[in-house]
Amino acid sequence: MSAAARARKAWEQTMSPSSRIHVPVLAGELVELVAPQAGETVIDCTFGGGGHARLVADRIGPRGTLIAIDRDPVAGRRFEQFADEVSCRTRFIPMEFSTALKTLQDEGVRADGLYMDLGMSSLQVDAPERGFSYSHDAPLDMRMDPRQELTAAEILNEWPESRIVQILRGLGEERFAGGIAREVVRRRPLETTSDFVDAIKAGMPTAARFGSGHPARRSFQALRIAVNGELDSIDAALPLAWDTLEIHGRMAVISFHSLEDRRVKRFFASLAVGCTCPPDLPVCVCGHEPEAELLTRRSIVADERELEANPRSRSARLRGALKLAERTAS
Ligand SMILES: C[S@@+](CC[C@H](N)C(=O)[O-])C[C@H]1O[C@@H](n2cnc3c(N)ncnc32)[C@H](O)[C@@H]1O
């Protein structure tokens, strides 16, 4: 049995049935990349249901410290139970992860391992009242952090049509963004997720409604990313996360769509650049050393078994890097 399969099995055995709600994606593979050792400090930037964190906690043991971050108070409540169940030292920071990482940096905290499992958790999607799901009728909310002011309703009902087109096209790669945005504006005010689903269906050609997947999937994804400022958060957090790592620390990120994965890939690639001298120079004069070693040349994706057991893993991509030196670029 591979190390990844062993780690996944360990997770399945340690989770009590009542807590098996969010099934962590690429769990064994992520733990293998972060490679937590006894006594280390590891930061989980996206605690969610704590599935990955539980595996890491088992590895770092009673002398280790797990720092968990999540901007969703539901994850915070989940963390209280988690902290009682694991043997390592724990700390929870209820903030957006770039702000939390800045706080840790200001405190001088350094980690041996750090990971992010981006996007939303099943705890969020499966809470109908939060408006993340096109399968339940609910108010147009979609905030991961309910303290935030901006909601999905505000974007759909108050933002100009051109900005809604940009969101649907840019963040959801929705081909019929123009038609959908027009319908949204025509039907204002939209009050519930069903109102938005109806506008989406009306805004696309009939044949397109019966293509692969739910017709609202892309638009809901786009709106959620916009409401939560997800891409800006990632851009701000990646360098902070890297700077929080010790030399020889390991970082891993699981992303769920190409806009996230592209950012992670480029960030790690920029750190892994070595000598930048022209190829015809006989010896290196730039002296530039790579600041990272890529642990994944290509992203890791779920195997057949996981795809079958957990459909959420279908779009997951995992990348990792080992820190060799502090970052010089700003
Ligand atoms: C995919 S889930 C993580 C699941 C977790 N790894 C597990 O095994 O249960 C993503 C979590 O990250 C949180 N999250 C997403 N973006 C965030 C951000 N910018 N700052 C803080 N938390 C964030 C969400 O609230 C959600 O709970």
Whether the CB of 238 sits within 6 Å of ligand 1? no
- Cβ atoms of 119 and 131 within 8 Å: the answer is no
3-state DSSP of the chain: CCHHHHHHHHHHHHCCHHHCCCCCCCHHHHHHHHCCCCCCEEEECCCCCCHHHHHHHHHHCCCCEEEEECCCHHHHHHHHHHHHHCCCEEEEECCCHHHHHHHHHHCCCCEEEEEEECCCCHHHHCCHHHCCCCCCCCECCCCCCCCCCCCHHHHHHHCCHHHHHHHHHHHHCCCCHHHHHHHHHHCCCCCEHHHHHHHHHHCCCHHHHHCCCCCCHHHHHHHHHHHCCHHHHHHHHHHHHHHHEEEEEEEEEEECCHHHHHHHHHHHHHHCCCCCCCCCCCCCCCCCCCCEEECCCCCECCCHHHHHHCHHHHHCEEEEEEECCCCCCC
Tell me where in the chain the CATH 1.10.150.170 domain(s) lie. Answer: 149-227
Mutate to test the pocket of ligand 1, among 44, 46, 130 (most ligand atoms within 8 A of CB): 46
Whether the CB of 22 sits within 6 Å of ligand 1? yes
Tell me where in the chain the CATH 3.40.50.150 domain(s) lie. Answer: 3-123+230-323
Whether the CB of 43 sits within 6 Å of ligand 1? no
- Express each pLDDT in 149-205 by its tens digit: 999 999 999 999 999 999 999 999 999 999 999 999 999 999 999 999 999 999 998
Whether the CB of 260 sits within 6 Å of ligand 1? no
Residue 128's pLDDT band (cuts 50, 70, 90):
confident
Q: Please tell us whether the domain made up of 3-123+230-323 is placed in CATH 3.40.50.300.
A: no
The rounded Å distance from CA 315 to ligand 1 centre is: 16
Mutate to test the pocket of ligand 1, among 52, 144, 232, 312 (most ligand atoms within 8 A of CB): 144
Residue 6's pLDDT band (cuts 50, 70, 90):
low
Token reading at 312:
């959420």
Per CATH, which fold does 149-227 belong to?
A: DNA polymerase; domain 1 (1.10.150)
Report the candidate in 170, 169, 171, 167 with the shortest Cα–Cα distance to residue 159: 167
Answering whether pTM is above 0.85, one says yes
Whether the CB of 27 sits within 6 Å of ligand 1? no
Whether the CB of 40 sits within 6 Å of ligand 1? no
- Express each pLDDT in 234-243 by its tens digit: 999 999 999 9
